[in-house]
Amino acid sequence: MDKAERWLEETLQYRFNDVALLQLALTHRSARKQNNERLEFLGDAVLDVVVSEVVYLARPGASEGDLSKLRASLVKTGSLARLALDLGLGDYLILGSGEQKSGGHRRESILADGMEALFGAVFLDGGIEAATTLINRVFQDRYETLPDEKDLRDSKTRLQEWLQARKMSLPEYDLVAETGKDHRKMFSVACTVTEVSLVTEGTSTTRRKAEQKAARAMLEILAEKNA
């Protein structure tokens, strides 16, 4: 039995019927034309449905928007890469020599894609039940520390909710500066909450991001004043 198979059996408690699928799942596109990209497509969908069911059942009061955010917090690239590191996936990835030399087995996107490809391979090899069992096992700790969905909302939404809960009127956002030109523009937005005479400012590459920054700054001040 090769070392990847042993790792999978010991760490993930899964044994492949078709070991070629495991090899394919571990093969990055830098190594070979026959690589894990198609399995990643499949595994991404498998992971989504498994995690969707978990958050749906875990949060009966959450809106579909909040469910999406909860799911995204679990399956986003950074989270999957973290999971891959915890499991030691990087040691078994098959990379091209260039990627190998430049530390590809520690690169977030490569780790996350490999994780998804592995889920896709288990799905093809053992069916949806096997994939569900494996995914739920490796996500168990994350499920137990699932964030409050409210904390995942964006700053503008949270600021609005904070003010509404206190019967205060909504904040105003005004563009106060636009500097640089064309593809290098920067936007500065002021967020004003009239009832407490507070103004914060946010600057970023898009108007929307600048508004979010200004809202976050406002939330921090309000939370401090209220503490």
Q: Is 44 a catalytic residue?
A: yes
Among positions 14-33, residues that touch a second copy (CB under 8 A) are: none
Q: What does the alpha-carbon distance between residue 70 and residue 146 come to, in Å, rounded to a whole number?
A: 8
Strands 172-179 and 186-193: antiparallel
Say whether residue 63 binds a second copy (CB under 8 A).
Answer: yes
The binder of a second copy chosen from 46, 112, 134, 135 (CB under 8 A): 46
**C-beta of 120 vs 202, nearer to a second copy:** 120
Three-state SS string across 125-174, please?
Answer: HHHHHHHHHHHHHHHHHHHHCCCCHHHHCCHHHHHHHHHHHCCCCCCEEE
**C-beta of 10 vs 129, nearer to a second copy:** 129
**C-beta of 128 vs 170, nearer to a second copy:** 128
The residue behind tokens 């917090």 is 73
Provide the binding-site residues for a second copy, judged by CB under 8 A. Answer: 37-38, 40-42, 45-46, 48-49, 52-53, 56, 62-64, 67-68, 123-124, 128-129, 132
Catalytic residue numbers read: 44, 116
